[in-house]
Amino acid sequence: MALSDKSNFTNPETPGYVGFANLPNQVHRKSVKKGFEFTLMVVGESGLGKSTLVNSLFLTDLYPERQIPSAADKIDKTVSIDASTVEIEERGVRLRLTVVDTPGYGDAINNQDCFKPILKYIDDQYEKYLNDESGLNRRHIVDNRVHCCFYFISPTGHGLKPLDVEFMRALHNKVNIVPVIAKSDTLTKREIQMLKAKIMNEIDDNGIKVYHLPDSDSDEDEDFKEQNNSLKQSVPFAVCGSSQLIEVKGKKVRGRLYPWGVVEVENPDHCDFIMLRSMLITHMQDLQEVTHEVHYENFRSERLAKSGGGTAAVKTSAGKRKESSSDKDQILQQKEEELRRMQEMVAQMQAQMAKKGQDV
């Protein structure tokens, strides 16, 4: 399903808001002209609020035709992969965002193999990139590699479930995993703090490597350093989403209405939604770089080792790239040389014909 939607992200009333228009500060001007390509995967049991959160994050309905499966449908359901692409533009900055949903994950009675289709999807994108990179059209590669995976943890599970541990351990060397606690409005502040600490301990105890937010450079300004520190301390982000706009003190806000009040999605005192969005935007480039330099390179080395290119697998990333494409480069050079000779011949013939014409 491919959608095209132009959404306006500007919301000056939101404190600490970082929009996509800030992306050019991070990257090269050429990328601004070309636009950004980013793929986000969301994984977690159904009903944890994944689609609602994604729609709240990007203010667009990514799943207009989605059908909610019934309990009977879920019993022996296998995991499917559902990629939706939207083009978002904000103040002249274009973002081609692909969100990969994984409906059916964790829904079956036996969830033993349910992360395998997800693993395969991630590998398939690396494989495609590897083929494109060594092909003739490598300047115009569409990058569909998964740059970030939001892993949704249930707020009612008292920590990580065995499936959560199994999934993260199977995928932490393949993709940047960002753990999030779903539906945080169902917990009190104290419960959130306790659950966060418990999850982080379990992540450490099980040797899981979640995405490590980069440290700020010493020359960054103090505000940025402070923001980065609070982003780091917020992991796992406790978030809530909503598709409803509710009026609070004369202002329309995205929130969830309870008999005792409103939980505002974009209020940093109520949940980490703003933190999660800031993390995604401020570190979008880093997420892409880690995907390319660490996860993709792991995949490439393994792939080369399997196909007998073991020696190439231990070289530096630049060296490896050169080696894998050197045959193609050589063929390309030969063709270019041939073309140049033919052009010279045509030019000589044209000159001769012109001379003959003058002589006649």
* Residues sharing a CB contact under 8 Å with residue 188, sequence separation 6 or more, in sequence order: none
- Name which of 174 and 183 has its Cβ closer to ligand GDP: 183
- Asked whether position 50 contacts ligand GDP by CB under 6 A, the answer is yes
What residues numbered 214-243 form the site for ligand GDP, per CB under 6 A? Answer: 240-241
- Asked whether position 48 contacts ligand GDP by CB under 6 A, the answer is yes
Tokens 């014909």 label which residue? 353
Q: In angstroms, give the least distance from the CB of 335 to ligand GDP.
A: 50
d(CA 154, CA 106): 11
Residue closest to ligand GDP, measured at CB: 49
d(CA 298, CA 304): 10
If one counts every other C-beta atom within 10 angstroms of the C-beta of residue 241, the result is: 22
- Asked whether position 185 contacts ligand GDP by CB under 6 A, the answer is yes
Q: In angstroms, give the least distance from the CB of 184 to ligand GDP.
A: 7
- Name which of 85 and 106 has its Cβ closer to ligand GDP: 106
List the x/- string, 60-99, binding to ligand GDP by CB under 6 A: ----------------------------------------
Q: At what angle do helices 317-359 and 116-133 cross, to 10 degrees?
A: 40
Q: In angstroms, give the least distance from the CB of 329 to ligand GDP.
A: 46
What one-character DSSP code corresponds to residue 2?
A: B
Q: In what order do the strands lie in the sheet with 245-248?
A: 245-248, 251-258, 261-264
Which segment (21-29, 87-95, 164-172, 183-191) binds ligand GDP by CB under 6 A? 183-191
Q: In angstroms, give the least distance from the CB of 63 to ligand GDP.
A: 8
Q: What is the DSSP pairing of strand 245-248 with strand 237-238?
A: unpaired
Q: In angstroms, give the least distance from the CB of 100 to ligand GDP.
A: 13
Cβ–Cβ under 8 Å, residues 210 and 155: no
* Residues sharing a CB contact under 8 Å with residue 289, sequence separation 6 or more, in sequence order: none
Q: Residue 47 corresponds to which tokens in the numbers above?
A: 């009903």
**Quick one: which of 7, 26, 186, 206 contacts ligand GDP (CB under 6 A)?**
186
Which segment (24-32, 109-117, 160-168, 182-190) binds ligand GDP by CB under 6 A? 182-190
d(CA 38, CA 83): 12
d(CA 178, CA 239): 12
Q: Which amino acid is at 2?
A: A
Strands (E), 137-213: 148-153, 177-181
Q: In angstroms, give the least distance from the CB of 256 to ligand GDP.
A: 6
Tokens 């992306």 label which residue? 23
| DSSP bridge pairs for 40 | 99, 148
- Asked whether position 47 contacts ligand GDP by CB under 6 A, the answer is yes
**Quick one: which of 41, 49, 192, 288 contacts ligand GDP (CB under 6 A)?**
49
**Quick one: which of 46, 98, 125, 301 contacts ligand GDP (CB under 6 A)?**
46
What residues numbered 316-355 form the site for ligand GDP, per CB under 6 A? Answer: none
User: How many of the chain's residues bind ligand GDP (CB under 6 A)?
Assistant: 13
Q: In angstroms, give the least distance from the CB of 233 to ligand GDP.
A: 21
Q: In angstroms, give the least distance from the CB of 54 to ligand GDP.
A: 8
- Asked whether position 196 contacts ligand GDP by CB under 6 A, the answer is no
Q: In angstroms, give the least distance from the CB of 274 to ligand GDP.
A: 14
| DSSP bridge pairs for 258 | 261
Task: Give the three-class secondary structure for 148.
Answer: strand
d(CA 324, CA 322): 6
- Asked whether position 153 contacts ligand GDP by CB under 6 A, the answer is no
- Asked whether position 154 contacts ligand GDP by CB under 6 A, the answer is no
What residues numbered 249-278 form the site for ligand GDP, per CB under 6 A? Answer: 256
Q: By the criterion CB under 6 A, which residues form the site for ligand GDP?
A: 46-52, 183, 185-186, 240-241, 256
